[in-house]
Structure 1
Amino acid sequence: MYGKVMSACLHGVDGKLVEVEVDLSNGLPHMSIVGLPDSAIKESMERVRAAIKNCGFQFPLQRITVNLAPADIRKEGAAFDLAIAVGILQTSGQLQLERSEGTIILGELALDGSVRPVPGVLSMLATARENGILRAIVPSPNAREASLVTGMELGSIDHIADLKAGTDSLFRCSRSLSASAAGSDTMYAPRQGDNFSDVYGQLHAKRALMICAAGMHNILLLGPPGTGKTMLAKRLPSILPDMSEQEALDVTKIYSASGKFADRSSLIQERPFRMPHHTISAAGLVGGGTIPKPGEISLAHRGVLFLDELPEFSRAVLEVLRQPLEDRHVTIGRARAVYRFPAHFILASSMNPCPCGYYGSESASHPCTCSPLKIEHYRAKISGPLLDRIDLQIEVPRIDYGQIIESLPQLSSEAMKEQVDKARQIQLDRYRDTGIMFNGELYGKLLRTHCNLMPEAEAMLRKSFEVLGLSVRAYDRILKIARTIADLEGSQQLNASHLAEALQYRCLDKKTPV
């Protein structure tokens, strides 16, 4: 006897449809699972056996072969448990489900037959919908998450015994859930308390961060301890443009696949902000493992990856950022598969000017104690190619006592975001139908088309290129910054003032006077 049901697994952060084929034949009672299953799937034999017996069904005393097709793709996780159990019960004639051939079934089984949630439901159902499967049975804790995939008929299940009443009853109970989710507000509440008005002074750094947010540029904050570098970077999400529906769906899929999706009832609408510790490994940053999982740079997709005290990170770890910063994705190869993770993020970082932190801002109480050689070695921890990929390199100086006690109003996140949103709308209109959304994504012909300099600006850039010894990559990034500055001012032309401001944000391109 032969039966088949549809299920799915995760391949990176994307779903992959899997056919669960069940064959019952005469012979000694035995159950085997083939099709490159991992340990969790092999162990599902015992979970399925116990769940079927403890729910009043009869486990077939026959030779049972379960095939997970396609057989050349590695499968992992416990999401196949429910599909395997349904396949066995249908093939043995103990269960008849309506339209099971067009239904995807997901869920992990407990020994008593209850159905537990699984990660990655959003990605797997999105793939099922793309392939024409419009019905799904999922664990009840995953139902809200599943309802975010529009156009699918959903059935939620708490216990395998619920299937005795037929699938139609499951779908009837879940229609109200799908209807309410479709009309609900999926916006997360914005972060409270993180506002640029809390930061005294530092108007130069705030201006740079506003440019960073408007064009999605990478930024490095350089300055002595206690000047507010970390405080400024943590407030960057408060001025970032709101995510589009597609961006929110992409971010939510990553968090769902990685098991970090805490609120399953709504899409993630707040741009991610990730701040890993400097002891993180390369695999923790870009992703990895026997079956690779997303790393910090993928969890920061469409948001901010903040590396505090950049030189304290291992140089080998920092160097793995070079390819994702250019390609906007990470490719991890394994013997049986190649995994691709999205990694379109803003790299925000901070560092001291020297090991003691006080070079260039010496005072009687805090003199710099570092030799020129120590300063050179400290800064050499960050390679030239990586610095080239950081658009904005900003000095954050110490502020005096008067700036702290003065009662002048500080520049707030609300005022900054208003300017960022205007600049973003200009970019959306300009790049319509080009496949990009921000100036930071400009490349090749598009860069030349939209970043034409006025004659005086061209002459200024030519001289700066020779004096500072800029690379071609730095040249391109200066043009992108100038384009964003012009957008913030509502200007179509790139004139000398826009370029001059862009050039001053490359402080590390100047030779260090040590």
Structure 2
Amino acid sequence: MLSTLNAAALIGIDAMQVAVETNVTGGIPSFTVVGLPDNAIRESRERILTAIRNSGFDIPPKKITVNLAPADIKKEGTAFDLPIAIGLLGSLNLIRHRFENTLILGELALDGSVRRINGALPVAIMAGKEKIKRLIVPQANAAEAAVAVSASNATIKVYGVETLNETVELVNGRSEQAPVTVNVAELFEREPEYPVDFADIKGQGAAKKALEIAAAGGHNVIMIGPPGSGKTMLAKGLPGILPPLSFEESLETTKIYSVANLLELQRPLMVTRPFRSPHHTTSNIALIGGGSNAKPGEVSLAHNGILFLDELPEFTRNALEVLRQPLEDREVTVSRISITTRYPAGFMLIAAMNPSPAGALKDRDGNLTATPPQIQRYLSKISGPLLDRIDIHIDVPKVENTELFSTSTAENSQTIRKRVIEARKIQLERFNGTPKIYTNAQMNAKMIKLFCRLDTESSQKLMDAMNRLNLSARAHDRILKVSRTIADLEGSEKIAMKHLIQGIQYRNLDRDFWSF
């Protein structure tokens, strides 16, 4: 007897509907799964049969064939355990056929309990679009799936199950379980906690101002300074001055974490911007994504947030070079033999480095801590094309003792964030109607020409700077973008000379910054 029900497969951070067709006939007993299943699905035979028997059902020896359609799309993961088990019980007439407009997903344990799966959020979004009326997922994924339903006002009902028997009761219509609901507005009302407040950082007024500009325009930053100058603390304080996530940004970020199985059980929706800080020994695949299962990497996990690379020259040259494409395109393409997957990677890059391989550039006596050739080799690990893609270069000097022991109160992150939000509002109005452009850092060449016009005197000043510093065309565009952001923070409609000069000063690594 044939039974058909709905399941789903993940393609990148999106889901597609999959029909699970289960047919049971007489003949030599066997259990075959077709439709391009991966090893985890092929191995599901023993899990499913054992879970069914341990749940109190008697499975006669039959020829069992399961087809996952469409058959030309690769199916991965253990989430097909539960729909295959329910389909098998339906084919054996051990449960009533009530699969219409129902989508089921879940991994089975041998005792019949249902375990958590990856990607419940994109599955729920897809189910709403496909007019599915009932979604059955593991209890651990129920709140995550309900977020998408609440946000889209879909008519789909989400049920969380903990066992195979509980799923059977739902399918048979004998369960009185209420659908799971989540108050999305309440999740956003919670005040996020940030580990570092700018008021806690002693000194570094110039660096704080540069990070405020970066936050306002979404610009990439590199900080250069000796150990102990506060580079890491400044980076960790940056999320506290960024504007809050919009719901669209939150949903897209949550989808990535859902697919990567990194979503916390108590947090079904990402409401704060991610801050990722991979170690410098991180491999290319871990950084950019990929592997046998084409998982999202650190650049995607930092989407709509911050990717902090401390000790930048210590990363391998290959690892740094793979950043060039996502920095430019705001997405990363992961290719395998059977499929090509695109993951969003719209992050702010915050990098930190020492001016010398020995740490500080000079010791207490004013002598270089390393020879000039050693310093040049150290700096050359960062390629010119990568530096061109970093908008703001910040000098972070050693904090003076007078500043460390000062009792004066610095400006807190909340105050700075208000200015950043106002500058972002100006940019949203400026780019209204332009898809996927929200900040000055995302402007293309046409937009730069339209929104970053200079008067004759300012144009000459920029030309002189380009000749003197030997700047590239990309660096020219970065200066104009940063200058536009500085003007926005001051509420200026035009880019004035002072805005341009400040933007040029943020190109430290384009000039002879270190005097040997």
- For Structure 1 versus Structure 2, the TM-score category normalised by the shorter chain is over 0.9
Letter in 1 for 2:510: D
Letter in 2 for 1:156: G
1:94-122 Cα deviation digits (max 9, x unpaired): 11143x13111011111121111111100
Distance change (3 Å), C-alpha of 1:88 and 1:451: same
1:393, 1:507 within 8 Å by CA — same for their partners in 2? Answer: yes
Q: What is the DSSP-based 3-state SS (H/G/I as helix, E as strand, rest coil) of the residue aligned with 2:429?
A: helix
Q: Write the distance in 2 (CA, Å) between the matches of 1:14 and 1:275.
A: 26
1:155, 1:171 within 8 Å by CA — same for their partners in 2? Answer: no
1:332-356 Cα deviation digits (max 9, x unpaired): 1111000111110000011111111
Partner of 2:111: 112
Q: Write the distance in 1 (CA, Å) between the matches of 2:93 and 2:425.
A: 60
Q: What is the DSSP-based 3-state SS (H/G/I as helix, E as strand, rest coil) of the residue aligned with 1:173?
A: coil
Q: Write the distance in 2 (CA, Å) between the matches of 1:421 and 1:80.
A: 44
Q: What is the DSSP-based 3-state SS (H/G/I as helix, E as strand, rest coil) of the residue aligned with 1:502?
A: helix
Partner of 1:91: 91
Greater Cα offset, 116-125 or 159-168:
159-168
Partner of 1:266: 268
Partner of 1:190: 192
How do residues 95-244 of structure 1 correspond to structure 2 at under 5 angstroms?
A: 95-98=95-98, 100-150=99-149, 151=154, 152-167=156-171, 169=173, 172-175=176-179, 177-178=180-181, 181=183, 184-187=186-189, 189-244=191-246
The Cα shift of 1:166 comes to 4.2
1:284-323 Cα deviation digits (max 9, x unpaired): 1011211211111111110000000100111111110000
Q: What is the DSSP-based 3-state SS (H/G/I as helix, E as strand, rest coil) of the residue aligned with 1:154?
A: strand
Do structure 1's residue 496 and structure 2's residue 497 form an aligned pair? yes
Q: Write the distance in 1 (CA, Å) between the matches of 2:175 and 2:148.
A: 15
The Cα shift of 1:25 comes to 2.0
The Cα shift of 1:51 comes to 1.5
1:5, 1:21 within 8 Å by CA — same for their partners in 2? Answer: yes
Greater Cα offset, 157-166 or 81-90:
157-166
1:32-88 Cα deviation digits (max 9, x unpaired): 001111111111111111122222222242211101112122211110011001111
Distance change (3 Å), C-alpha of 1:183 and 1:59: farther
Partner of 1:484: 485
The partner residue of 2:304 within 302, 305, 317 is 302
Partner of 1:322: 324
Partner of 1:33: 33
Residue segments in structure 1 that go unaligned for 5+ positions in a row: none
Q: Write the distance in 1 (CA, Å) between the matches of 2:170 and 2:424.
A: 51
Q: Write the distance in 2 (CA, Å) between the matches of 1:475 and 1:281.
A: 32
Q: Write the distance in 2 (CA, Å) between the matches of 1:224 and 1:87.
A: 63
Distance change (3 Å), C-alpha of 1:182 and 1:248: closer
Letter in 1 for 2:268: S
The Cα shift of 1:363 comes to 2.4
Distance change (3 Å), C-alpha of 1:182 and 1:283: closer
Q: Structure 1 length as normaliser, TM-score?
A: 0.95
Q: Write the distance in 2 (CA, Å) between the matches of 1:164 and 1:474.
A: 62
Distance change (3 Å), C-alpha of 1:394 and 1:164: closer
Q: Write the distance in 2 (CA, Å) between the matches of 1:373 and 1:340.
A: 41
The Cα shift of 1:169 comes to 4.7
The Cα shift of 1:193 comes to 4.4
Do structure 1's residue 62 and structure 2's residue 62 form an aligned pair? yes
2:194, 2:239 within 8 Å by CA — same for their partners in 1? Answer: no
Distance change (3 Å), C-alpha of 1:296 and 1:193: closer
Distance change (3 Å), C-alpha of 1:315 and 1:113: same
Letter in 2 for 1:487: D
The Cα shift of 1:172 comes to 4.9
1:223, 1:396 within 8 Å by CA — same for their partners in 2? Answer: yes
Partner of 1:372: 372
1:153-207 Cα deviation digits (max 9, x unpaired): 11222221124434375875233x32x5456434554224411111111111000
The Cα shift of 1:124 comes to 1.4
The Cα shift of 1:264 comes to 4.7
How do residues 279-294 of structure 1 correspond to structure 2 at under 5 angstroms?
A: 279-294=281-296
Q: Write the distance in 2 (CA, Å) between the matches of 1:440 and 1:164.
A: 52
1:410-452 Cα deviation digits (max 9, x unpaired): 1221221111011011111111111211111111212211111
The Cα shift of 1:362 comes to 4.2
- RMSD between aligned alpha carbons? 1.7
The Cα shift of 1:254 comes to 0.8
2:290, 2:335 within 8 Å by CA — same for their partners in 1? Answer: no
Q: Write the distance in 1 (CA, Å) between the matches of 2:127 and 2:443.
A: 33
The partner residue of 1:350 within 349, 352, 359 is 352
Q: Structure 2 length as normaliser, TM-score?
A: 0.95
2:308, 2:351 within 8 Å by CA — same for their partners in 1? Answer: yes
Q: Write the distance in 2 (CA, Å) between the matches of 1:158 and 1:137.
A: 10
Letter in 2 for 1:458: S
Q: What is the DSSP-based 3-state SS (H/G/I as helix, E as strand, rest coil) of the residue aligned with 1:235?
A: helix
Q: Write the distance in 1 (CA, Å) between the matches of 2:433 and 2:207.
A: 33
1:386-421 Cα deviation digits (max 9, x unpaired): 011000001111232222223322122122111101
1:186, 1:267 within 8 Å by CA — same for their partners in 2? Answer: no
Q: Write the distance in 2 (CA, Å) between the matches of 1:419 and 1:184.
A: 25
Q: What is the DSSP-based 3-state SS (H/G/I as helix, E as strand, rest coil) of the residue aligned with 1:6?
A: strand
Letter in 2 for 1:159: T
Do structure 1's residue 246 and structure 2's residue 248 form an aligned pair? yes
1:4, 1:101 within 8 Å by CA — same for their partners in 2? Answer: no
